[in-house]
Structure 1
Amino acid sequence: MSSVITAGISDEDILERLREVLRDTFEIDPARVTPAAQLFTDLELDSIDAVDLAIQVQDMTGMRIKPEDFKSVRSVGDVVATVRGLLER
């Protein structure tokens, strides 16, 4: 996996990194990973997977995620927005 992402990264680049993470960690076809894709229904993740994804996002950003930051995440677009928010802190 490549290094920590920085504030100058585009949302498209964040999405591309999420595609890699979801492919490598959960064996999800990157073509299914779109901003509108719902994590629990479309990508069939469960609550344990969501915790794993939060850890992957922490690794990606080099920043700790508070549970409340990730609690409302439901779609891939929400994950991108969360990563963007972490990078802008």
Structure 2
Amino acid sequence: MQTREEIFKELQSTLVELFELPEDKVALEANLYQDLEIDSIDAIDLIDHLNRKVGKKIKPEEFKAVRTVQDVVEAIYKLANSEHA
């Protein structure tokens, strides 16, 4: 079971690596679309990468509600710690 802090650290390094963002810009309250300038194609790449990391499938409709880095952490936490997904 991963903690939210561990998920955040992994997500932060993923965002830095995939989108060449400065690490200090990737904060929990950062908005993916406005602050980090992630577009819909980037979001698909991110979902694909996260699916492989978590080993479970994040449903696109669940990701539509995601706006901030914190939202992504919560979605991954719930998915990673659910019995079935």
Partner of 1:54: 47
- Pick from 13, 22, 30: which aligns with 1:20? 13
TM-score (norm 2): 0.91
TM-score using structure 1 length = 0.87
- 2:80 alignment counterpart: 87
> Following TM superposition, by how much is the alpha carbon of 1:61 offset from its aligned partner in structure 2, in angstroms?
0.4
Q: 1:29 aligns with which of 22, 25, 31?
A: 22
In the aligned structure 1, how far is the partner of 2:48 from the partner of 2:23? 19
Match of 1:75 in 2: 68
CA distance in 1, matches of 2:81, 2:61: 17
What is the CA deviation profile of residues 7-42 of structure 1, one whole-angstrom value per residue up to 9, with x for unaligned ones? x21111111101111111100111111110000000
Distance in 2 of aligned mates of 1:34 and 1:10: 16
Segments of structure 2 that go 5 or more residues without pairing to the other structure are none
SS in structure 1 opposite 2:73?
helix
Q: What letter corresponds to residue 83 of structure 1 in structure 2?
A: I
Q: Distance in 1 between matches of 2:51 and 2:60?
A: 12
How many equivalent pairs are there? 82
Identity of aligned residues (%): 40
CA RMSD of aligned residues (A): 0.8
